[in-house]
């Protein structure tokens, strides 16, 4: 079995999603309100136990997203364990470590500076603390007690939110890093002298690319459901006269996140798709030069049999996978009846 070989230069594609990550950081730091001045005055005094509904949604979304991220990481590890050129394996590991480090950087900043505003502060830190403060954690009888992930704190459920955000950063680093590496590995090259060998290699690469695109859409779509779950956590406890106004803020925040995630997928999918499209066009040129495939109809049939002709359905599937996080952001903002 030939070792998988992807030229190291292709792993520089990872710089594109890293650029998107930094652009998001610049927008967040310079154009968004760090601490929205919104407090507990908009909360309803009735049914404080509704905090449990938001917590269940949050924990479910966290669990499922972490499982998906771990799954794609294992899939990439499986590919790298198989016979792989040393340079390809080293470049893949470097990208995995780099993306993981970037994903964990917010958690590191919070560890070094506990007073740094959290994500929920942008949606009303005082509101979150008051709403989630209505809940409790088993075993947290006092602020100095410890639970599964550390100190209980004055508001144990806020501690839960903060710690689970750090956990998700960990799994997001593994998952997104794996998605990027898996996509770049679709640019595998082998020494293929014949037309049939080139066609078979290209078809394998295209099929792998589509699988990784669908996985990317799936993982980051559930990333949106996770983000929406914590954003909407206090919403059930907001008084009816303020629900629509606060829901508008949440909807805008989740839509921004959906756009960001879709751009992230596009950033590592599009370069790979363009490179493979160039190889496909080159193969069509080689086929046109072949004596047995001079006839256009025969050449088209040959390409179709080898799965190298683009079907309209493939375009729709690709567009859906790229837009899935945006669609999920809209779906996650369906009004909740109280």
Give one DSSP letter per residue of 10-72, joined into a string.
Answer: GGGGGHHHHHHHHHHHHHHHHHS-SS----GGGB-SS-GGGHHHHHHHHHHHHHHHHHHHHHH
Give the pLDDT of residue 334: 52
Q: 194 in a domain, yes or no?
A: yes
Q: 338 in a domain, yes or no?
A: no
Q: 2 in a domain, yes or no?
A: no
Pull the structure tokens for residue 102.
Answer: 């970037």
Distance in Å from the first CA to the final CA of the chain: 60
Q: Number of folded domains in the chain?
A: 1
Q: Say if CB 293 and CB 189 are below 8 A apart.
A: no
Looking at residue 334, the DSSP 8-state letter turns out to be P
Pull the structure tokens for residue 76.
Answer: 């990439």
Q: 326 in a domain, yes or no?
A: yes
Pull the structure tokens for residue 109.
Answer: 């900043």
- Rama region for 33: left / alpha / beta (φ>0; ψ in -120 to 50; rest): beta
Q: 29 in a domain, yes or no?
A: yes
Q: 327 in a domain, yes or no?
A: yes
Give the pLDDT of residue 122: 94
Tell me the residue range of the domain where 327 lies: 8-331
Looking at residue 136, the DSSP 8-state letter turns out to be -
Tens digit of pLDDT at every position of the chain (338 positions): 578 899 999 999 999 999 999 999 999 989 988 899 998 999 998 888 899 999 999 999 999 999 999 999 999 999 999 999 999 999 999 999 999 999 999 999 988 888 888 999 999 999 999 999 999 888 888 888 888 888 888 899 999 999 999 999 999 999 999 999 999 999 998 766 678 888 888 899 999 999 999 999 999 999 999 999 999 999 999 999 999 999 999 999 999 999 999 999 999 999 999 999 998 888 888 777 776 777 777 777 877 777 777 777 888 899 999 999 999 998 766 544 44
- How far apart are the C-alpha atoms of 182 and 21, rounded to whole Å? 19
Q: 336 in a domain, yes or no?
A: no
Helix segments in 185-311, DSSP class H: 195-231, 240-289, 296-305
- Rama region for 124: left / alpha / beta (φ>0; ψ in -120 to 50; rest): left
Q: 3 in a domain, yes or no?
A: no
Q: 3-state DSSP call for residue 257?
A: helix
| Residues 49, 51, 57, 62, Cα dihedral to 10° | -130
């Amino acid at each position: 079995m030939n070792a998988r070989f992807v030229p190291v230069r292709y792993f520089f594609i990872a710089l594109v999603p890293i650029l998107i990550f930094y652009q998001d950081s610049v927008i967040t730091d310079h154009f968004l309100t760090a601490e929205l001045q919104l407090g507990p005055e908009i909360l309803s005094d009735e049914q404080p136990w509704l905090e449990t509904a938001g917590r269940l949604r949050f924990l479910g979304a966290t669990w499922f997203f972490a499982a998906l991220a771990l799954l794609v990481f294992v899939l990439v590890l499986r590919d790298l364990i198989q016979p792989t050129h040393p340079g390809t394996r080293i470049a893949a590991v470097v990208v995995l470590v780099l993306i993981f480090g970037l994903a964990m950087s917010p958690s590191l900043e919070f560890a070094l500076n506990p007073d740094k505003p959290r994500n929920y502060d942008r949606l009303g830190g005082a509101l979150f603390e008051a709403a989630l403060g209505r809940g409790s954690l088993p075993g947290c009888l006092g602020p100095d007690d410890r639970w599964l992930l550390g100190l209980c704190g004055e508001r144990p459920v806020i501690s839960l939110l903060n710690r689970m955000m750090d956990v998700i950063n960990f799994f997001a680093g593994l998952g997104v890093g794996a998605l990027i590496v898996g996509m770049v590995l679709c640019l595998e090259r082998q020494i293929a002298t014949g037309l049939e060998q080139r066609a078979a290699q290209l078809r394998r690469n295209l099929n792998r690319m589509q699988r990784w695109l669908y996985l990317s859409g799936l993982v980051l779509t559930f990333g949106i459901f996770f983000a929406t779950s914590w954003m909407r956590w206090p919403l059930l406890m907001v008084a009816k006269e303020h629900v629509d106004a606060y829901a508008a803020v949440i909807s805008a925040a989740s839509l921004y996140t959906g756009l960001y995630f879709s751009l992230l997928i596009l950033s590592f999918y599009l370069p790979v798709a363009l490179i493979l499209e160039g190889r496909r066009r080159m193969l069509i040129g080689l086929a046109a030069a072949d004596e047995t495939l001079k006839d256009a109809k025969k050449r088209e049939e040959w390409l179709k049999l080898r799965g190298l002709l683009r079907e309209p359905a493939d375009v729709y599937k690709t567009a859906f996978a790229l837009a899935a996080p945006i669609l999920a952001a809209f779906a996650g903002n369906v009004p909740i009846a109280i």
